[in-house]
Chains A and B, each alone.
Chain A
């Protein structure tokens, strides 16, 4: 059989639903093929669609198409009162709910100019670091799964579930807790909560050793990740990369150090910085980040346990509801409670930026107030939106099999991109 016959034979064997277009460039003699990867491809981590133009196994051009998960969260938030809009922050980047809560709360707290109690600052840090561990656990499992290391996924899911149980213990909800709110926290931690966090932290270093043992010196893992998807510091900055992906390229920038919020300047921790900017460095930076998050959790636990019974919510009744018990005895408390949940509060005209170092990078909420009880404009900066911009730069000229490794290494969440 002739070679061309073989090709046409083969082209009919694509499964239904996969459209393949072939182009022939008469000048260079190259035959390229355009295929769709996604939007429902498991290794695209959600509903990302990549249109890949391939020359054999090599990616000539990569065009991401996004928007499949666009739900208009920014528009919806403009039509809710400040307190109610909080619950939507859980729902955009659905893997870093508490970090989103914090970024939004920081912006609103600047607008209404409220000071929150020390204990809620400590618990915010603790919850954010637990969230970072949970998010990185999901990243590690799925990233390894994409590259072919199946078993890591099962173990990381266990660890993530322990953190979801911690969140469930405090709020009754596993992921979208809205526990961090403007004015502090929704409530203090229930009894037995600290013990649960403690037992999670006690077993965590051993788990990290296991993950390192499974991957860090695994020759297949190294071969699949080393030198793949290299981004120079300039490439990374040009694409607007933030977070671990930027640090892996050798740019030492972490908001927890450079512009500390919620008292991060009081904790001792290091930030990990890579030097090659490849998939392996992004893996190593996140692994080190997990250990540093563990250290921060330990310090935050010590601080929180030293403040039993301290308030976790501001006393400003215009911003945060009164304690439930007061409603039975105090007329003012009842009025405040009613006013807060019906009308809400009216921050003065102004603009504020709330920004945190999320698991994926700089998570920013820009809130504009026109003096009414609803935000005039809420802009959500999703770090994944910018991180994904670097993907074409990374994968053009590389093998199609490496594309999944690169997608996993920038740790995108489509809810964060499309909002």
Chain B
């Protein structure tokens, strides 16, 4: 839509367009929980994947679908291409140690549709050390958040283009947001304890 070399073609008339006020009126069309769910689930059923949607949750008005890891790519692709969820709002991990031992981690994809002004959540439940297929091919915005989940929870993403730690140092041991990672801090290095710190 916009050429990178637009600056070369710019003229006075272009500035005039820019100087026109550029307001936009948005329409509000909040859908019902059933409506939103139907828009996603009907296409999922068309693709014969309804068996893979293992759980439904109402997260205070946002429908949330838990799918099995093998179909997460297909489900996200359906959400993006068929149901209009064009923006990845957020992607994060949850350690469900207190809730379930079989499914230790959850990877949550929170999606937003600009056209419909609504959200859905698609999530996968994973066992400890179970890898998750990456969604970077469908939503390129997941590249960094998936790195963060890998960093904070130790979930491996298969097929991820650049799976490295992102927030913690590269030589860090452990995954801080796991529930079994202790809260204790590191002793800060000051002049009075620098010797002890260095000898550790």
| Interfacial residues, chain A to chain B (CB-CB below 8 A) | 66-67, 70, 72, 74-76, 79, 110-111, 226-228, 230, 232-234, 237-240, 242, 250-254, 257-260, 265, 270-278, 280-281, 284-285, 288, 350-353, 362, 364, 366, 368, 370, 376-377, 379, 381, 385-386, 389, 397, 418
Contacts and interface: CB of A to CB of B under 8 A. Distances in A.
Contacts of A276: 2, 6, 18
A107 B5 CA distance: 44
Interface in B50-95: 57, 59-62, 64, 86-90, 92, 94-95
A237 B119 CA distance: 15
Interface residues of B, number: 57
A362 B89 contact: yes
Which 7 A/B pairs are nearest by Cβ-Cβ distance? Answer: A227-B7, A240-B141, A270-B23, A67-B167, A257-B26, A252-B24, A381-B90
Contacts of A277: 2
Nearest to B117: A258
Contact of A366 (B5, B92, B141): B92
A276 B18 CA distance: 9
Given A252-B24, A260-B28, A271-B26, A377 B95 contact: yes
A274 to B, nearest CB: 7
A386 B141 contact: yes
The dominant DSSP class at the A interface is mixed
A350 B62 CA distance: 12
B98 interface: yes
Contacts of B181: 75
23 contacts: A66-B166, A67-B169, A75-B177, A76-B183, A110-B60, A228-B7, A230-B6, A233-B1, A239-B140, A239-B141, A257-B26, A259-B28, A259-B30, A271-B24, A276-B2, A278-B7, A284-B22, A351-B57, A352-B60, A366-B90, A370-B98, A379-B92, A385-B145
Contacts of A239: 140-141
B100 to A, nearest CB: 12
Contacts of A72: 176
A419 B67 CA distance: 29
A23 to B, nearest CB: 20
A381 B7 contact: no
B10 interface: yes
Given A366-B90, A389-B141, A75 B26 contact: no
A270 B169 contact: no
B7 A353 contact: no
B8 interface: yes
B1 A232 contact: yes
A66 B167 contact: yes
Nearest to B114: A253
Nearest to A260: B28
Contacts of B23: 270-273
A284 B20 CA distance: 11
A70 B89 contact: no
Given A70-B168, A272-B22, A75 B140 contact: no
B140 A350 contact: no
The winner among A238, A258, A271 for most chain B CB atoms within 10 A is: A258
Interface string B150-189: 0000000000000001111100000011000101000000
Interface string B21-42: 1111110101000000000000
Contacts of B183: 75-76, 79
B128 interface: no
B190 interface: no
Given A66-B166, A226-B7, A376-B98, 11 more contacts: A74-B177, A75-B176, A75-B181, A239-B141, A257-B26, A271-B24, A278-B7, A284-B18, A362-B112, A366-B108, A379-B94
